[in-house]
Structure 1
Amino acid sequence: MEVIRDFEVTGILGEDQVETDGFGYVKAGEDCVTNLPGVFAAGDLRTKPVKQIVTAVADGADAINSAQDYLTENA
């Protein structure tokens, strides 16, 4: 597992791979799942209406659950 912070999406995955909005935030649902299988986005880099520490922490928990589900289904 890798945790990345304070980066531009284009520097890690490239805009042509991971879907972003017009502001460069990663498009991911409340489950933190992106358009790329096995790639999850949590916290302030994800498109969402509220950017607060508490919501970023909650995103982390949701991303872990989604990653666990993904690994269970694809192991």
Structure 2
Amino acid sequence: MKNIIRALRAERGWSQQDRADKLDVSRQSVNAIETGRYDPSLPLAFAIARLFGRSLEELFDDGTSVAEAAE
């Protein structure tokens, strides 16, 4: 799943370890989420969204259009 987490984190000057500590996950987990190798659980995705003050839809893109999702 694509996301903009790395860009938002870099804009704020936050390290992966800073975010990992705030989210109570490992730095490797933050890296895996940022690179799209790992999709976060729903509770973790909500925590990430709160951390950046954004909605889930703003942060994550599963590549599915609204029409496809409705089918």
TM-score relative to the length of structure 1:
0.29
- Which has the larger helix fraction? 2
Question: Taking CA–CA contacts closer than 8 Å with sequence separation of 6 or more, which of the two structures ends up with the larger relative contact order?
Answer: 2
Larger Rg: 2
